[in-house]
C-alpha cells in the first residue's frame, strides 16, 4: 500500500537534553497540527532533524521512541548543524529570500554541507520510499532534496512547499549556487508558495537561469511537467476558537483585566528575527507616544519575542539592539505607575498567547518581509466578539488575504504611528465589520483545507503527467 512521507528540516517534536537525558515533547506548531492528520495514519511517516546534536550512544533509543510516533530522525553532527542549518540555510537563503542580502555570507563550506546534508536526508527518505508513495518536502533548508530523490526514484510523486518568500530574480541571482538550487526544486512535481508573487518570482528565476521551457505556471523539466502554484497556508482555526473558551485561558484573561484594567493593549508576538521589523515597530511606538501624548498611561505595547537562532551573529546583535531600544523608550516615557513597553524575551504556552490575543485591542504585525505570518491569523481567529483591530504589514503574505486589516508599509514609521492612532479611535461598528470579514477568511481557508488542497493538486499533477506521456 502506498504511503505519504513528510520531510522537513525539523521534526514536529521538541527534544531537550539535560544531564545526558533526552526528553521528547510534541510540538504545538501549526504545521505539526495540520500535517498530524497525515503522518499519524497507517504507515505514513515524517522525516526530519530532532533539533539538536544527539549523543551517538542515545541515537538508537531515540529512534525507537520516534518510530512509535511515526517519526524518523536524520541525525546531524555539530559541524553539519553549523554549516548547513546556521550557515547555508540561515546565513544565505534566509537573508536573501527575505530581501536582506547584505546579511548573506556566501561561504563555499556552507554550500558543501548544504549539499551533504540534503544527500543525508535523501538517503533516509530512500530507506523507506517505495514506488507509488507520495513525498511532501517542506521549506528552504531542503531545496536540493526533490531533485536528489527524483534522480533515484523517478516515479514517486514529490510535492514541495516553500514557507518563506521566494525573492525577485534580482535578489535570487546573487546566490552563487542559484542554478543548482532551482534544479533541485524542479525535481518536485508540484511546487507550492504562499502568494502569487512568490510563485511568479520562482517561475521568472527558472526561465531566466535555466535552459527550460515554461508556459504560464508549467515548467518542462526533462520532459516532465512541473507545476508552480499558490497555496496560502492557514491556521488551526478551530483550536484558537476553542481556546477562547478554555477555562485556563479565561482565568489568564481575568488576570490581564485585573493587571491592565482600561489600559489599551497593543500586542506584538514574533520569533527573534531581523525580518520581523521589531526595531522599526519599537520606533513607531515611540513616535506614536511623541505624536499623541494624550495616550501616555493609556496604552501599552506588550511585546513577546521568542528566542530563535541565537547562535547566529545577526540574531545576537538584534537581541541586544531590541534590549537597548525598549529600555530607552521605557526610560524616556515611563511614569511611576506605567511602563509603555512590557517586553518578554521567552516563549509562552499557547494558553497565555490565546489570553493575550483575546485581551489585546490591537494586533500589531509589521514584518519587513514574511512568507505568510500566522500570528496575524491567530489574532483574528481569537477575536470571538468581532472587535479589535489588526495592523498588518503589506510585506506579509497574510496581507493578500486579510485585506480588512489596517495595511502599512513597515518601513514607514510615521504610517505605523498613525495606524495605531486610527485603530485606537476606530468605531466599534467599523472594527466589527472588518473583523468579521477577516474571521470568515481565516475560518474557511484553515490548515486542514490547505493540506487537502495541496495533496489533491499533487495527485492531479501526477495524472496530468501520465496523460501527457500517453499522448
Residues lying near ligand G6P in the complex (CB under 6 A) are found at 10, 139, 163-164, 308-309
Looking at the Cβ atoms of 48 and 147, the one nearer to ligand G6P is 48
Smallest separation, CB 138 to ligand G6P (Å): 7
C-alpha cell at 375: 500570528
Q: Catalytic: which of 189, 236, 270, 370?
A: 370
- Whether residue 188 contacts residue 146, with contact meaning beta carbons closer than 8 Å, is answered with yes
Residue of 74, 63, 67, 6 whose CA lies nearest to 34: 6
Smallest separation, CB 254 to ligand G6P (Å): 32
Looking at the Cβ atoms of 284 and 398, the one nearer to ligand G6P is 398
Number of H-type helices and E-type strands within the chain: 18, 17
Distance, in Å, from the CA atom of 230 to the CA atom of 453, rounded to the nearest integer, reads 11
Distance, in Å, from the CA atom of 217 to the CA atom of 373, rounded to the nearest integer, reads 25
Q: Is 163 a catalytic residue?
A: yes
Smallest separation, CB 389 to ligand G6P (Å): 25
Q: Catalytic: which of 163, 200, 264, 449?
A: 163
Distance, in Å, from the CA atom of 175 to the CA atom of 93, rounded to the nearest integer, reads 8
DSSP string across 93-114: IHHHHTT-GGG----HHHHHHH
The continuous run of DSSP H or E covering 118 comes out as helix 108-128
Pairing assessment for the beta strands 341-345 and 4-10 based on DSSP bridges: unpaired
Residue listed under C-alpha cell 472594527: 431
Smallest separation, CB 163 to ligand G6P (Å): 4
Cβ-proximal residue to ligand G6P, closest one: 163
Distance, in Å, from the CA atom of 363 to the CA atom of 384, rounded to the nearest integer, reads 14
Smallest separation, CB 76 to ligand G6P (Å): 13
**429: CB partners within 8 A, 6+ apart:** none
Strand order in the sheet with 134-138: 71-73, 45-49, 4-10, 134-138, 157-161, 190-193, 224-230, 218-221, 213-215
Looking at the Cβ atoms of 415 and 451, the one nearer to ligand G6P is 451
Q: CA 450, 29, 146 angle in degrees (round to 5)?
A: 60
Q: Is 449 a catalytic residue?
A: no
Smallest separation, CB 96 to ligand G6P (Å): 14
Catalytic residues: 163, 370
Amino acid at each position: 500500500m502506498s504511503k505519504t512521507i513528510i520531510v522537513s528540516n525539523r521534526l514536529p517534536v521538541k527534544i531537550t537534553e539535560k544531564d545526558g537525558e533526552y526528553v521528547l515533547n510534541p510540538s504545538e506548531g501549526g504545521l505539526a497540527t495540520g500535517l498530524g492528520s497525515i503522518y499519524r495514519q497507517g504507515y505514513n511517516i515524517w522525516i526530519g532533524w530532532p533539533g539538536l546534536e544527539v549523543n551517538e550512544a542515545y541515537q538508537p533509543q531515540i529512534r525507537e521512541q520516534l518510530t512509535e510516533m511515526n517519526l524518523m530522525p536524520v541525525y546531524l553532527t555539530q559541524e553539519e548543524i553549523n554549516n548547513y542549518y546556521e550557515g547555508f540555510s540561515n546565513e544565505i537563503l534566509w537573508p536573501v529570500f527575505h530581501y536582506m542580502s547584505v546579511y548573506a555570507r556566501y561561504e563555499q563550506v556552507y554550500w558543501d554541507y548544504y549539499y551533504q546534508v540534503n544527500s543525508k536526508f535523501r538517503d533516509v527518505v530512500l530507506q523507506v520510499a517505495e514506488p507509488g508513495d507520495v513525498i511532501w518536502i517542506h521549506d528552504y533548508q531542503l531545496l536540493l532534496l526533490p531533485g536528489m530523490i527524483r534522480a533515484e526514484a523517478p516515479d514517486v510523486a514529490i510535492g514541495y512547499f516553500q514557507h518563506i518568500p521566494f525573492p525577485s530574480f534580482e535578489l535570487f541571482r546573487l546566490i552563487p549556487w542559484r542554478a543548482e538550487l532551482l534544479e533541485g526544486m524542479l525535481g518536485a512535481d508540484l511546487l507550492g508558495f504562499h502568494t502569487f508573487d512568490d510563485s511568479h518570482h520562482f517561475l521568472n528565476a527558472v526561465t531566466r537561469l535555466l535552459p527550460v521551457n515554461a508556459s504560464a505556471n508549467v515548467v518542462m523539466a526533462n520532459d516532465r511537467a512541473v507545476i508552480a502554484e499558490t497555496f496560502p497556508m492557514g491556521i488551526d482555526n478551530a483550536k484558537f476558537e476553542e481556546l477562547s473558551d478554555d477555562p485556563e485561558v479565561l482565568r489568564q484573561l481575568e488576570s490581564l483585566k485585573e493587571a491592565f484594567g482600561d489600559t489599551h493593549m497593543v500586542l506584538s508576538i514574533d520569533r527573534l528575527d531581523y525580518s520581523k521589523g521589531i526595531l522599526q515597530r519599537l520606533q513607531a511606538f515611540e513616535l506614536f507616544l511623541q505624536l499623541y501624548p494624550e495616550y501616555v498611561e493609556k496604552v501599552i505595547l506588550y511585546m513577546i519575542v521568542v528566542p530563535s537562532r541565537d547562535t547566529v551573529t545577526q540574531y545576537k546583535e538584534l537581541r541586544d539592539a531590541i534590549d537597548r531600544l525598549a529600555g530607552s523608550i521605557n526610560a524616556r516615557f515611563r511614569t511611576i505607575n506605567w511602563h509603555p513597553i512590557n517586553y518578554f524575551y521567552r516563549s509562552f504556552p499557547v494558553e497565555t498567547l490565546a489570553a493575550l490575543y483575546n485581551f489585546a485591542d490591537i494586533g500589531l504585525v509589521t514584518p519587513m518581509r514574511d512568507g505568510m505570518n500566522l500570528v496575524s491569523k491567530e489574532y483574528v481567529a481569537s477575536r470571538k466578539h468581532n472587535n479589535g483591530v489588526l495592523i498588518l504589514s503589506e510585506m506579509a503574505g497574510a496581507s493578500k488575504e486579510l485585506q480588512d486589516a489596517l495595511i502599512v508599509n513597515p518601513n514607514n514609521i510615521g504610517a505605523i504611528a498613525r495606524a495605531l492612532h486610527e485603530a485606537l479611535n476606530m468605531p466599534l461598528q467599523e472594527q466589527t465589520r472588518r473583523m468579521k470579514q477577516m474571521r470568515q477568511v481565516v475560518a474557511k481557508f484553515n490548515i486542514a483545507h490547505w493540506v487537502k488542497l495541496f495533496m489533491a493538486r499533487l495527485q492531479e499533477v501526477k495524472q496530468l503527467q501520465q496523460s501527457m506521456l500517453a499522448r
